Amino acid sequence: MMAQYLALREEAGDCLLFYRMGDFFELFFEDAKTASQVLDIALTTRGEHLGQPIPMCGVPVHAAEGYLARLIKAGCRVAIAEQTETPAEAKKRGGSKALVARGIVRFVTAGTLTEEALLEPRRANVLAAACEVRGTVGIAACDISTGRMELEECPADRLAAALARLGASELVVPDGWDEAPEAAIRRSAHEFSSDGGEGRLKLVHGVATLDGFGAFTRPMLAAAGGLIAYLDHVGRGSLPLLLPPEARAADAALAMDEATRASLEILESSQGGRKGSLIDAIDRCVTGAGSRQLADDLSAPLTSRLAIAERLELVEWLHDDALLREDLRAALRALPDVGRALGRVVAGRGSPRDLGQLRDGLSGAHRIGERLAQRNDVPVLLERLLPELGGHGALVDHFARALVETPPTERGQGGYIASGYDASLDELRVMSGNARRAIAALEAKYREDTGVASLKIKHNNVLGYFIEVPQRHADRLMEPESGFSHRQTMAGAMRFNALALHEEAARITEAGGRALAAEDAHFEALVGEAVAARCGIARTAAALARIDVAAGQAERAAEGNWARPQVTEGLALEIEGGRHPVVEAALKAQGERFVANDCRLASHDRLWLIGGPNMGGKSTFLRQNALIVLLAQAGGFVPAKSARIGMVDRLFSRVGASDNLARGRSTFMVEMVETAAILAQATERSFVILDEVGRGTSTYDGLALAWAVAEAVHETNRCRCLFATHYHELARLAESCEALSLHHVRAREWKGDLVLLHELADGPADRSYGLAVARLAGVPPKVISRAKSVLEKLEKGRAETGGLAAGLGDLPLFAAALDAREEVCDTVRDKLRNMDVDALSPRDALEILYDLKREAGSGD
């Protein structure tokens, strides 16, 4: 056995090996140690190998899905080694000591799950493959639980952004590609050929040409080849549901890089998980498929005005008819997840329950379609979707006749084919039922013949049917003329057989076996019918999801008094009474009100410089406007009184940063990398939010960087931008940048306390209120008092010298700093570098600070 195991273990590669032994999947050696820790199950030993005990642990086969889910979540991959023959077949092949043959039948990985228990209902499970062909990256992505497949290409420097949009559970790349993410799974580069990919796609879909599916580039086809080859590997030659591929144009969606997605917390909050994210605040879908579609919409907002308008029209139609919306959502809520049921059926992992879900889901879709088609004012998008809701009448009728009302999840025990569907099956069931009644009659007869009232006829999978009596009555059945033959002695009971019982048991077994075989044949026929109709069923599932998204968006809009945005081809961004959907929901839960604010950007006023105190609402204001743009272009209503949005091609958010120690980057380095990406990629049609650029370094360096970045955004990128800062000196930019205006979030100090008004006002901030915020945070009064005295001296020095920005207004854009200032800075740096700070008293330190201040001022 160990030789067989080791051979399979080598085949499993970097996966844990689930080795089937009877009713358990066993793990050995290092696999056992890993699994026992992850699953928190007992680690034991079994035999020895090379003189050492073999570590072992195991999980029951019937509960394997739950354990697999935990292993996959922990980042493990699992190879399933099943028995490929029965013990009887093994005995016939090689005698009584023959080992049952086993083989790896499937690899279970994060991106190739189809089982309902292993998937999150409201989250897509994407598997992606990527490769580079002559400087261009091809990406193939699919969700095998529903079969949807997309192909795209992008420049090599945009790969991270494309993968961030997909949020893939698993990424497959060719071996030897140095630019690929470290966590990617490496496969042979030969699998990533464009010719091979084209051939595999043709074979999967049974076509001679791919022209009917769209135009695909060589990088796209190469990535598709790698994806299908990987699926063929993990499925051991059995491919899952793959629908015809769709080509995604590079400019079809609003572009967002990884940092922007993380900053805006679109699908996941900064703490991890769905709670606190944008989708958590707006998702009112009543089906898992609808939630998955909404997530896709938010991940890839549209850049086509026509497509956006069609989505908005459908949302508005449902928003304005509350009764229709309520009825529609109730009907959708009752439907099963048709797409994922189809995925399991096509992958060969379907159950009778999945076939029942297809029947019920398609039948419900037809009823929804009939109800909506009765309206005369159907929106254009819904008009296109309605035909997809019907067209399965023959399949639904067939499944309705063939299946019981509530089919079981397991097919092995039968009982899922309805009575009246197959006369011969019904006859076998009658025979089996009659035989069982005969068993009950035999039991009564044997009790009467033996006088043993406690005699029972029982059944188990080892002995079949047998007679059991307590030990004290066993002598009566042991007599030779009794007609009973001894089979097994238990602790307190004895088991027997009898000729009549044997004959009835044989009839039951034969009839039951034939009935199970008949049901199994019907199951396979029904599966074949579903597989043949898979593309149409998938389109129905997609139509239901799109309708659910529109109804959910309408419900959220009605619930929060949201407005339909106007999306234009211009460059204006006019939002009246805008609100942050996540923050507003959180405040509402606490019984508090969100303060709405306007935002009006235009060609003559496209860069807003926003000052004000920490906690005053600057970051919230920046993010809420970015989210309103995103929601509008995703085709939904927005949290505002009104919104007029000129189409945005790229959305950038540099708000907050943290260390990325794994990549050797400090907080400031992360901030600069993100800022560099914005300056390199933002166009006139982009929308950028920047918060506290330059605050991660020294005051002079930070101010210089913030000044130069603001100038670059204004003069070079010329994009719409909200720029929040604490550098009051940047207000001088308004003198030289004609499209820059000054704004601030309002705050007041009242009797020593800071009152944050969260309102946006025109003009520069009078101060930062940093000490007041520190007091709110609980900084000791003594420290606050000392800071106040230091601040007064600093501000007095600034007034005398003209401040940090003195003279900057006279500089041409992007000019270098004055040589004299650089000399002073060098002198100050040298003194600080040579200073023994630990040896200084507070008074000495203050005197040195005064000296440095005077010296710094001498250079102005």
DSSP bridge pairs for 186: 173
Contact 716, 733 (CB under 8 A): no
Q: What is the DSSP string of 545-590?
A: HHHHHHHHHHHHHHHHT-B--EEESSS-EEEEEE--HHHHHHHHHT
Contact 145, 339 (CB under 8 A): yes
Dist. CA 429–CA 414, nearest whole Å: 11
- Number of other residues whose CB lies within 10 A of the CB of residue 564: 17
DSSP bridge pairs for 25: 20, 59
Residue 612 annotated as lining a ligand binding site: yes
- Residue 330 has, within 13 A of its CA and on its CB side, a CA count of 7
| Element spanning 59, H or E | strand 52-60
User: Tokens for 129?
Assistant: 């493959």
Report CA-CA distances (Å) from 831 to 236, 433, 698.
70, 100, 16
Task: Give the 3-state secondary structure of 762-779.
Answer: ECCCCCCCHHHHHHHCCC
- What distance lies between CA 343 and its chain's CA centroid? 18
Q: Which residues contact 292 (CB under 8 A, 6 or more apart)?
A: 122, 123, 124, 146, 545
User: Tokens for 170?
Assistant: 């698993």
- CA-nearest of 292, 174, 300, 310 to 249 is 300
User: Tokens for 302?
Assistant: 């549209």
Dist. CA 737–CA 741, nearest whole Å: 9
Report CA-CA distances (Å) from 499 to 127, 434, 505, 748, 833.
59, 18, 10, 99, 103
Sign of CA dihedral 537, 539, 540, 542: positive
Residue 653 annotated as lining a ligand binding site: no
Dist. CA 420–CA 572, nearest whole Å: 67
Dist. CA 691–CA 413, nearest whole Å: 63
Contact 703, 805 (CB under 8 A): yes
Contact 130, 138 (CB under 8 A): yes
Contact 546, 379 (CB under 8 A): no
Residue 614 annotated as lining a ligand binding site: yes
Dist. CA 52–CA 67, nearest whole Å: 28
Dist. CA 544–CA 80, nearest whole Å: 35
Q: What share of the chain is helix, strand, coil (3-state, %, to 5)?
A: 50, 20, 30
Dist. CA 105–CA 515, nearest whole Å: 28
Dist. CA 420–CA 801, nearest whole Å: 98
- CA-nearest of 403, 408, 419, 417 to 353 is 408
Dist. CA 266–CA 276, nearest whole Å: 9
Dist. CA 710–CA 608, nearest whole Å: 10
Residue 552 annotated as lining a ligand binding site: no
Residue 513 annotated as lining a ligand binding site: no
Residue 666 annotated as lining a ligand binding site: no
User: Tokens for 826?
Assistant: 């060098």
Dist. CA 494–CA 633, nearest whole Å: 76
| Residue 715 DSSP class | I
Contact 769, 747 (CB under 8 A): yes
- State the binding site: 612-619
- State the binding site for ATP: 612-619
